Amino acid sequence: MAGKVCPKCEKNTFFITSGENRKCSNPECGCKMTVPPHEHKGGRGEKCSNCRKFTVFKNVCSNPNCGARYS
């Protein structure tokens, strides 16, 4: 099974290692990509103190019934 194209060695060797993190399996390359979990791209957010759900990203609750903002 081929992975995604590695931006460094340009081969289909870029595989998911955990969550949305990827690592090139080519031993000569070793390129890594880390996606931060709190950028609406994966992972759960911080726990909202108002609605008690893990929906806080960038100091704003993404729960449509809450919408709390933190500063």
Walk along the chain (71 residues) and give the pLDDT tens digit of each residue: 567 888 888 888 888 766 667 888 888 987 887 766 555 555 677 889 999 888 888 888 888 899 899 88
Place of tokens 């870029």: 14
What is the predicted pLDDT for the residue at 39? 53
The per-residue pLDDT for 50 is 92
Cβ-Cβ contacts under 8 Å for 52 (sequence gap 6 or more): none
- Look at residue 66 in the predicted model and tell me its pLDDT: 92
Phi and psi dihedrals of 56, rounded to 5?
-95, 115
Average pLDDT over the chain reads: 79
